[in-house]
Amino acid sequence: MILRFPHALWRHRELWWRLTEREVLGRYRGSLLGVAWSFLNPLAMLAVYTFVFSQIFQARWGTLESAGPLGFAINLFSGLIVFNLVAECVNRAPGLIHANPNYVKKVIFPLEALGAVVVGSALFHAVTSLVILAGFQLLVFHGLPLTYLWLPLVWLPLVLTALAVTWLLSALGVFLLDIGQVTGLVMSMLMFLSPIFFPLSALPTRWQPVLKLNPLAQVIEQTRSVTVNGHHPSALYLLLGTTFGLAACEMSFRSFQKAKRAFADVM
């Protein structure tokens, strides 16, 4: 099967890059600190998690037992970065087309670029959070594992799948307005069913296969492995995850292309 979506994105690369830039800058336009908020928000979150788990819960995480509660905060935040990237895409996707009616009715516009803009914006915020995480690790451990360099490959299946889900939900959201309510509920459930606040190994053996069905579980575990534990990623994860992401993107893109013919009539 010939992949069509890479060609479509590359052809409109300048457009979605500029729209992503406008999306990121527009979110903070008019505020006193501007884009600095993209760093201050995750920094504030990390500070809160560190305080709560170090002073209130006295929590520990096995892989960073020597770091005490700070190790717990680092492990938690590394998983939360992945979840927030996906949550931003999923929560925005159902209303994406309705939020841009002029692109549907009045101009010839590659609507698939809107999904790439959402993913690009979410990825920007994930990277800023990652910078905060790396800075905190440098402060606590005085160094970073070299396996950080594997992160782009670890996140490739994540970004591809997020793009596929964004295209799919944005198309469905035109015809089914209830999708937005469903996605909000699902993401709230996934937050506590993902290994964010705990490692998969901490679960009873009988429940681990069930939690592994969560599509975020492996991405979070692999992200934590390369950024916190200093381990190489699973070759099987990279192969199967990337293959699945490419296939999901292609099927979602083709479905979106067919569905968008009816957008103007519905809206």
Dist. CA 230–CA 144, nearest whole Å: 8
DSSP 75-95: HHHHHHHHHHHHHHHHHHGGG
What pLDDT is stored for residue 1 in this prediction? 64
What pLDDT is stored for residue 97 in this prediction? 92
What pLDDT is stored for residue 58 in this prediction? 67
Dist. CA 31–CA 204, nearest whole Å: 47
What pLDDT is stored for residue 153 in this prediction? 96
What pLDDT is stored for residue 136 in this prediction? 86
* Predicted TM-score of the model (pTM): 0.90
CA 164 to chain centre: 12
What pLDDT is stored for residue 91 in this prediction? 94
User: Comparing C-alpha atoms, which of 135, 132, 27, 124 is closest to residue 84?
Assistant: 124
DSSP 29-64: TTSSSGGGHHHHHHHHHHHHHHHIIIIIS----GGG
Q: pLDDT tens per residue, the chain (267 residues)?
A: 688 899 989 998 999 999 998 888 877 776 666 677 777 888 888 788 777 776 776 666 666 555 566 778 888 889 999 999 999 999 999 999 988 888 887 768 899 999 999 999 999 999 999 999 998 899 888 889 999 999 999 999 999 999 999 999 999 999 988 898 899 899 988 988 888 888 887 777 888 888 878 889 999 999 999 998 889 999 999 999 999 999 999 999 999 999 998 888 877
What pLDDT is stored for residue 215 in this prediction? 84
Tokens of 135: 């800075």
CB distance 110 to 21 below 8 Å: no
What pLDDT is stored for residue 206 in this prediction? 83
What pLDDT is stored for residue 84 in this prediction? 93
